Amino acid sequence: MINISCLSKSFGRFKAVENLDINIQKGEIYGLIGPNGSGKTTTILVLLDILDPDPGAKITIDGNKIPERINEVYHKIGFMPQELSLYLDLTVEQNLKFFGNLYKIPKPIIYSRIQEVLELIDLTEYKKRLISKCSGGMQRRCSLAVALLHNPEILILDEPTVGVDPELRIEFWNYFKEISKEKGVTILITTHYLAESINCDQIGLMNKKILISGTPLELMENVRRLKNLERLPDMEEVFIHYTHQEKMERELGGSGK
Amino acid sequence: MSISLRRIIAITRKNLQALSHDKRTVGLLIIMPILMMVLFGYAFGQSVRHVPIKIANFDEGGEGIPYMGINDTKFSEIFIKYLEEDDRVDVKLLNLNIFNLSDEISQVYGGNDYYALIVIPINFTEDMLNFSNHIQISTYIDGSDPQTISSVIGAISEAIGTVINEISGEESHLELNLVYIAGDPNLRPIDSLGPGILSFALLLFMILTVTGGFTKERLTGTLYRVKVTSTSKSEMMIGYLLGNSLIALVQSALLLAISVLFFQINIVGNILLLFFILFIYAMSCVGLGIFASTFAKNELQAFQFIPLLLLPSMFFSGFLFPINSFPIIFQYVSYFIPMTYSIRISRAIMINGFGLDMFFMDFLIMNLLTLAFLVLAVAVFKMKK
């Protein structure tokens, strides 16, 4: 569904993303996992044509070359950015209606659809509240609601669970799993909560490039074997193992030159 | 590229809804114009310098009558010499061989070239020597701008006074016959500043809301989220144009109501025509605001741009000082400022009661400038990081 190869992005001399390759199948939850500053958001912004990549990148979404045919796929995508990206001077409901109109959701169903997503994110009783008066968690929930509003085939969620309380976080993940299994929605999700990545079908550990990818279980099993552990390591141990390994390789490579 | 009316209306409505929740900005919208009226109207009263005037001197002199040892004196020349030394006016002497009174008078209107035409009669010197009681200097004057008139009249009256004093040491027995070509001798500074304040307040408000609005859209990321709905930048811009021009109309109505109620400003001409002109002018201000917002990385930078956009319009549009009083290079600058035309046109409507036919050229140029500003804004505006 989403194919990225040879993606690099630099800001001046700083390389934010280096030679990134990702393949995401339809109906899959793909977790892009990495610490802050590892290039996750940059990758998403390039994918959505909000940032221009360095020359040489090959990207397709649902068979459409990006950025040339991005307008053909925008309506299939629901996007929840890392930044707030809501109008502070509008209410929760007004924000939803505004984006619903931009997505051209048919007029007869727009209100029922707004009602549905409001219930899903548990904001129905706060729908008349200005975004500027909402708590951080409520703002994140409203932002997710905007991404879900037009029933997209692809969800691109940048750190959706930041600032959301644990109970609701579990509900979010259950919902993501449900729509991916039942409706075949493809989900690209970033998180720096390593423990959450266990919920994904595939994960890519990222630090400017993909260090390793696979199912969470595969990666944990790999690390258990390599380190001769008796129990399965948790995702943090997995991540530390691969970043450490990458660092060693780079240093060796560097001294060899 | 398809343009969806539904999206445009959604963007327009979004801007109006956001404004309705932003009490501080609404307050600014109401209080700012009142404050400007008061400040400019009452505090701004200094004399204007270098107002261009023309003189047609028909004085034939005193037929060999010597005065203070000089033969064939023309007292008119002393009068002109004093005017030439006065920096309130810049004098141009007309060639009498090609003089045509009605042509010259038509050039005086609107301060296009000259603000006043002084005609000195044939028997000026002779009447002066005879201490005649009815010496008249006719002055045709464009009275739309009270500040300019008071400079011109002040300069002429002083020059006459000095001439008479020099010749006879007596009190003036000379009448200044003022003929107003436009405007009204009873105009107060606020009458001519009113239309200027209207245009200036619109510019200020449009730039504040549009530059602030787009910068906020970039900072909070809403602009990119709008892009991801496949909304085009044209749809976004038209939405902003509509919303802000509607706000401009409300603000104009408010300003006009304040002018009439609190400052007793007369509006002679067609008020619907005035609204139409201001609607188009507001669009040029929106274009300018979008243009500025594309160069600002944050709100602070955006607000640093604002004086840069306001100052040229404030000084070179004829709002505070007549355009002719500037060095020539800044006179050219004024041709590229939409506010120059909106002020000229709204003065013509409000003070003189003129119709579209009287300022069609100004109207045309203002439309072209508005279009140019919008095209420029579309060209530089990006919905990308």
Question: Among all residues of chain B, which has the CA nearest to that of A48?
Answer: B228
Q: Is residue A97 part of a domain?
A: no
Q: Is residue A109 part of a domain?
A: no
Structure tokens at A3: 């194919």
A-chain residues near B218 (CB < 8 A): none
Please tell me the predicted confidence (pLDDT) of residue B63. 62
Integer Cα distance of B199 and B196 in angstroms: 5
Range of the domain at B64: 51-183
Q: Is residue A248 part of a domain?
A: no
Closest chain A C-alpha to B256 CA, distance in angstroms? 29
Using a pLDDT cut of 70, give the percent of chain A over it: 98
Please tell me the predicted confidence (pLDDT) of residue A256. 43
Do residues B255 and B326 share a domain?
Answer: yes
Do residues B38 and B57 share a domain?
Answer: no
Q: Is residue B96 part of a domain?
A: yes
Q: CB-based contacts of A248: which residues, under 8 Å, 6+ apart?
A: none
Last residue within a domain, chosen from B183, B199, B218: B183
Please tell me the predicted confidence (pLDDT) of residue B337. 92
Helix (H), strand (E) at residue A80: strand A77-80
Nearest residue, CB atoms, A85 vs list B6, B9, B221: B221
Compute φ and ψ for B251, nearest 5 degrees: -65, -40
* Strand ordering across the sheet containing A202-207: A77-80, A154-158, A186-191, A29-33, A202-207, A209-214
Q: Is residue A115 part of a domain?
A: no
Q: Read off the CATH number of the domain in which A206 is found.
A: 3.40.50.300
Question: Among all residues of chain B, which has the CA nearest to that of A76?
Answer: B229
Integer Cα distance of B344 and B196 in angstroms: 9
Max avg pLDDT among A89-93, B98-102, B381-385: A89-93
Integer Cα distance of A199 and A215 in angstroms: 10
Do residues B277 and B163 share a domain?
Answer: no
pLDDT tens digits for range B77-102: 888 888 888 888 888 888 888 888 87
Do residues B192 and B176 share a domain?
Answer: no
Residue scoring higher pLDDT (A60 or B300): A60
Closest chain B C-alpha to A87 CA, distance in angstroms? 7
Do residues B218 and B177 share a domain?
Answer: no
Q: Is residue A250 part of a domain?
A: no
Do residues B78 and B218 share a domain?
Answer: no
Total number of domains in chain A: 1
Mutation site for A-interface testing, chosen from B8, B12, B223, B225 by largest number of A Cβ within 10 Å: B225
pLDDT tens digits for range A205-236: 998 889 889 999 999 999 999 888 888 898 88
Average the pLDDT over B206-213 and give the result: 88
Instruction: Indicate whether B174 pLDDT > 70.
Output: no
pTM over 0.80: no
Q: Is residue B85 part of a domain?
A: yes
Residue B204 exposed, middle or buried by CB count within 10 Å (0-12, 13-18, 19+) = buried
Total number of domains in chain B: 2
Average the pLDDT over B299-313 and give the result: 82
B-chain residues near A102 (CB < 8 A): 7, 10-11, 226, 229, 231
Using a pLDDT cut of 70, give the percent of chain B over it: 86
Q: Is residue A38 part of a domain?
A: yes
Do residues B116 and B80 share a domain?
Answer: yes
> Tell me, what's the ipTM?
0.90
Q: Mean pLDDT for chain B?
A: 81
Residue B239: pLDDT band by 50, 70, 90 thresholds?
Answer: very high
Do residues B177 and B201 share a domain?
Answer: no
CB contact (8 A) between residue B222 and residue A101: no
Q: Is residue A32 part of a domain?
A: yes
Instruction: Indicate whether B176 pLDDT > 70.
Output: no
Nearest residue, CB atoms, A85 vs list B7, B222, B383: B222
Please tell me the least confidently modeled range out of B111-120, B351-360, B376-385.
B111-120
Do residues B67 and B152 share a domain?
Answer: yes
Q: Do residues B207 and B309 make contact, with C-beta atoms less than 8 angstroms apart?
A: yes
CB contact (8 A) between residue A88 and residue B19: no
B-chain residues near A84 (CB < 8 A): 220-221
Please tell me the predicted confidence (pLDDT) of residue B44. 58
Q: Is residue A232 part of a domain?
A: no
Do residues B158 and B238 share a domain?
Answer: no
Please tell me the predicted confidence (pLDDT) of residue B111. 53
Last residue within a domain, chosen from B183, B213, B233: B183
Q: Read off the CATH number of the domain in which B130 is found.
A: 3.40.1710.10
Please tell me the least confidently modeled range out of B44-48, B99-103, B294-298.
B44-48
Do residues B266 and B356 share a domain?
Answer: yes
Last residue within a domain, chosen from B140, B161, B183: B183
Q: Is residue B385 part of a domain?
A: no
Range of the domain at A13: 2-85+151-214
Tell me how many residue pairs between chain A and chain B have CB atoms under 8 A apart.
79
Helix (H), strand (E) at residue B15: helix B5-20
Closest chain A C-alpha to B218 CA, distance in angstroms? 9
CB contact (8 A) between residue A84 and residue B21: no
C-alpha B79: how far from chain center: 31
Closest chain B C-alpha to A132 CA, distance in angstroms? 10
Give residue B221's region: left, alpha or beta (phi > 0; psi -120 to 50).
left
Q: Is residue B80 part of a domain?
A: yes
pLDDT tens digits for range A174-214: 999 999 999 999 999 998 888 888 899 999 999 888 988 99
Question: Among all residues of chain A, which has the CA nearest to that of B232?
Answer: A71
Please tell me the predicted confidence (pLDDT) of residue B248. 86
Residue scoring higher pLDDT (A198 or B173): A198
pLDDT tens digits for range A96-150: 999 999 999 998 999 999 999 999 888 899 999 999 999 888 899 999 999 999 9
Integer Cα distance of B344 and B359 in angstroms: 8
Please tell me the predicted confidence (pLDDT) of residue A211. 87
Integer Cα distance of A135 and A140 in angstroms: 9
Do residues B166 and B205 share a domain?
Answer: no
